[in-house]
Structure 1
Amino acid sequence: MSHTIKKVVILGGGTAGWISAALLKKLLGSAVSIELVESEKIGTIGVGEATIPPIQHLNNVLGINEVEFIRETKATIKLAIKFEHWKTQGHSYYHSFGAVGKSPAFCHFHHLLKRDNQLENDEHLWQYDLNYLCAEAGKFAKINSKDPILDMPYAYHFDAGLYAKFLRKLSEKMGVVRKEGIVEQVKQCNESGFIQALKLKSGQEITGDFFIDCSGIAALLIQKKLNTGYEDWSHWLRCDRAIAVPSERAETTLNYTRSIAHESGWQWSIPLQHRNGNGLVYSSNYCSEDKAMDLLMSNLEGKAIADPKIIKFQTGRRYKQWNKNVVAVGLSSGFLEPLESTSIHLIQSAVVRLVHLFPHHGVNDTLVTEYNKQSAVEYDQIKDFLILHYHVNQRENSDFWRDMRNMDIPDSLRHKIEIFKENGRLFRDQNDLFLENSWLQVMIGQGIVPRDYHPLANNMSLAQLQATLKKIKEIKQEPMSKLPSHDDFLKHIMKI
């Protein structure tokens, strides 16, 4: 079907809808008009409160002032995720956004530690990571240094509902039209199967040339109307339920997300300025809803301030995230549990991908095929990284964890694990969201210690190696005495 795309209709608000609206309007400008249909009567899941560093790029593109953003969304800083009890009961490690140490050419830093026998004690790895040091000390401020060894990448925890409102205000200012209403009927062209209009319960029809489905798990356009189909990954990622509940904020605001393994899943704890976000992700095949509810409510750090919400999901993705003249963004496109805070990033990358491949002169198979190929690769790579956390565990206290350890895993992941076990080599797949440092921290944190190291680590004497390691550690430690606490940083932001 070929005709110029002049009007884009977005079905659904929330984080997915308003990121889509804001980015498309900002980048495509007057080339298209954008109308967003949502209803105050339909709630959003709104549990995506933890992010990863690329959100800074999104905010920068949208021209968002960081101080205003932190104030408006009740945001806090996120330097890492702390994984508690994932390897064994009582053990913890961090997956930080920072880079460990300083790598010589063609040889990752951890090979130097392996040669010095420091990887045998996994706590040593993180002593060379500034993000970890600040997370443990509860400190944060931007470090003004041109030395990349002192880079401290960060993301945010924020209230997803407030972020959506913030983006709505921004979008409407740029010319996005919001329509309140519930969709009663979706009109489709008999010949092409393309969506033509959304008929609201009020009787009004919203016509468009191109549609973005941000209707969440309901997937009203991509699935209910177009019957696109779904690739089920629950044989690898077996959790299928989440219970979410906010609680009173903690006295000290952590600058990292907590991920706490339990008998049949894991619990998140996300610190915001005005409250804490909490939830339990679990498998209904291993744990009853009543037991899961008791487990979560008895493990809150503060008093619950709302009723818990139960969310049912199936991990996986649509066979096509772009079908005919519909692109699915957010939960309508698939579901990956929030273990590595990828939900909001997947929204961001989906819209950026659409901008790159936007069908100005009409939808064609070439654009659709490329979009779906890139989307599938992105989902597959994140899926492998999530499976890694579950599969490489040494927990012995439940069938859930034993089954996860003994299950078949994708060949792509098995290859990555085996090559790292053999000689510590890490190779980032093209466009993988997670860099080598992320794979390194989770593998070491979960107890995989390579048998050998890269021969380039032998290019200096043992004395020179130890002096180099000592110097790097000192450089990483040096800013610590000057940094304010995370809470003092937030107080300063609120006063600016």
Structure 2
Amino acid sequence: MNQTVKNVVIVGGGTAGWISAAVIKRLIGAGVDVTLVESEEIGTVGVGEATIPPIITLNNVLGIDEKEFLRETNATMKLAIKFENWRVQGESYFHTFGAPGKSYAFCHFHHYFKRAQTLGLTDSIWEYDLNYLACKNGKFAHIKSPDPIIEMPYAYHFDASLYARFLRKKCEAMGVTRKEGIISDVTQDADNGFVTGVTLKSGEHVEGDLFIDCSGFKGLLTQQTLNTGYEDWSHWLPCDRAVAMPSERLEKTLPYTRSIAHSAGWQWRIPLQHRNGNGLVYSSNYYSDDQALDILSSNLDTKPLADPNFIRFRTGRRRKQWNKNVVAVGLSSGFLEPLESTSIHLIQSAVVRLIHLFPHDGFKQRQIDEYNKQSQLEFEQIRDFIILHYHVNERKDSHFWKDLREMDVPDSLTHKIELFRASGNLFREQNDLFLESSWLQVLMGQGVVQKDYHPLANALSEQKLQELMQNIKRIKNEPIGKIATHDDFLKQFCG
């Protein structure tokens, strides 16, 4: 279909809708008209409150001032996720946005670390990670240095509903048109099945050339209209429920997310400036809703601020994220539980991918196929990383953990685990969201031990290796005494 795309219609607001509108309008600008249809009567899931570092690039592209953003969304800084009780009860580890040690061209730091362990080193690998040291001391700073060894990559925790409202204000200033109303009908071209417009209950008809489906789990356009189909991954990721409940803020604001494993699921604790975000992700095969609520309520640090919000989901992905002239973004495109804070990133990457393959002079199947290929690969790579946390466990307290430990997993994940276990080798797949340092931290944190190290680690004498480890540890610790606590940073930076 060679129709020039001049009118983009976004169905649904929330984080997905307003990120889509902001990116398209900011980057394509006057080339297209952007209309967003949403209704105040329809709520959003709104538990995506933790992010990963690429959101900083998104905000920069949108011209967002960081101070204004932090104030408007009640945001805090995020350096890592702390995983508690995942390998065994009573044990924890961090997945930070930094990297332990120092990068070397042909031999990663963890090979030198492994050799040092064989010579008597008793440190944990996280003692060589600046992000971890800042988390441990409750500190944060913007560290700008030409030396990557003392970089401190970060992301944010924020109120997702406030972020959507913030972006709406930016979008309307850029010329995005917002239509209030519930969609009662979708019209399609009789010949090719392309969506041509949506009709609101008020009777108003909104026509478009390209439609972005941000209607959440129901997938109003991609599923209910185009019947795209869904690839179910619940045999690998059996959690299918969540209950969320905000609570009063803690006196001390941690610069990291907490992920606390329970007997049949896990609990998140996300610190914001004005409150804590809390929730429990669980499997209905092992917990009833009442049991889940009782566990969450019994494990709140502070007094609850609202009634519980129960959410049902099915882990997996839409078989095509782009079908005909409809692109599914956000929950309409699929769902991966928020264990690694990827929900908002998947919105961001979907829209950026669309910009790269934007059908400005009409819809070409090869572009659509490439979009879908890249989307599928991204979902599958994140899926494998999340499965890793569950599958590699040593808990013996419940059938849930035993069943996950004994299940068959994708061959791609088995290969990655066994390669690391045998030789310590880690290779980042093309376009994998997670760097080698991320895989390293979760593999080691979950108890996967490398049996060997790279022979290049033997190039140093024992004395030189000891000096290397001491120097890296000293350099990583030096900034900690000079930077502010997380709370002091927020007060000073945000005014």
TM normalised by structure 1 equals 0.99
Q: Which residue is equivalent to 1:152?
A: 152
Compute the displacement of 1:321 (Å).
0.3
Q: Secondary structure of the equivalent of 1:83?
A: strand
Compute the displacement of 1:123 (Å).
5.7
Alignment check: 8 A CA contact 1:131 1:152 kept: yes
Alignment check: 8 A CA contact 1:245 1:278 kept: yes
Tell me, in whole angstroms, the C-alpha distance in 2 between the residues paired with 1:333 and 1:122.
45
Tell me, in whole angstroms, the C-alpha distance in 2 between the residues paired with 1:361 and 1:146.
43
Q: Which residue is equivalent to 2:236?
A: 236
Q: Which residue is equivalent to 2:223?
A: 223
Q: Secondary structure of the equivalent of 1:117?
A: helix
The percent identity for this pair of structures is 67
Q: Which residue is equivalent to 2:414?
A: 414
Compute the displacement of 1:197 (Å).
0.8
Q: State yes or no: 1:384 paired with 2:364.
A: no
Q: Which residue is equivalent to 1:205?
A: 205
Displaced runs of 4+ in structure 1, greater than 6 A? 118-122
Gaps of 5+ in 2: none
Tell me, in whole angstroms, the C-alpha distance in 2 between the residues paired with 1:343 and 1:231.
18
Q: State yes or no: 1:264 paired with 2:264.
A: yes
Q: Residues 122 and 319 from structure 1, CA distance in 2 versus in 1: closer, same or farther, beyond 3 angstroms? A: farther
Q: Which amino acid aligns with 2:369?
A: T
Considering only aligned residues, what root-mean-square deviation do their CA atoms show, in Å?
1.1
Q: Which residue is equivalent to 1:245?
A: 245
Q: Residues 276 and 433 from structure 1, CA distance in 2 versus in 1: closer, same or farther, beyond 3 angstroms? A: same
Alignment check: 8 A CA contact 1:268 1:280 kept: yes
Tell me, in whole angstroms, the C-alpha distance in 1 between the residues paired with 2:120 and 2:321.
44
Q: State yes or no: 1:300 paired with 2:300.
A: yes
Tell me, in whole angstroms, the C-alpha distance in 2 between the residues paired with 1:36 and 1:494.
31
Q: Which residue is equivalent to 1:127?
A: 127
Compute the displacement of 1:493 (Å).
2.0
Alignment check: 8 A CA contact 1:119 1:125 kept: no
Q: Which amino acid aligns with 2:460?
A: M
Compute the displacement of 1:218 (Å).
1.2
Map 1:116-195; keep pairs closer than 5 Å: 116-117=116-117, 124-195=124-195
Q: Which residue is equivalent to 1:427?
A: 427
Q: Residues 453 and 127 from structure 1, CA distance in 2 versus in 1: closer, same or farther, beyond 3 angstroms? A: same
Compute the displacement of 1:105 (Å).
2.2
Compute the displacement of 1:146 (Å).
1.4
Tell me, in whole angstroms, the C-alpha distance in 1 between the residues paired with 2:168 and 2:105.
46
Q: Which residue is equivalent to 1:452?
A: 452
Compute the displacement of 1:144 (Å).
2.8
Q: Which residue is equivalent to 1:290?
A: 290
Q: Which amino acid aligns with 2:24?
A: L
Q: Which residue is equivalent to 1:63?
A: 63
Q: State yes or no: 1:30 paired with 2:30.
A: yes
Tell me, in whole angstroms, the C-alpha distance in 2 between the residues paired with 1:47 and 1:425.
36
Q: Which amino acid aligns with 1:43?
A: G
TM normalised by structure 2 equals 0.99
Alignment check: 8 A CA contact 1:122 1:445 kept: no
Gaps of 5+ in 1: none
**Residue range with higher mean Cα deviation, 100-109 or 24-33:** 100-109
Q: Which residue is equivalent to 1:373?
A: 373
Provide, for residues 102-148 of structure 1, a one-character-per-residue CA deviation record: whole Å limited to 9, x for no partner.
13221110001100117998961000000000001000111232111
Q: Secondary structure of the equivalent of 2:35?
A: strand
Q: Which residue is equivalent to 1:39?
A: 39
Q: How many residues align?
A: 495
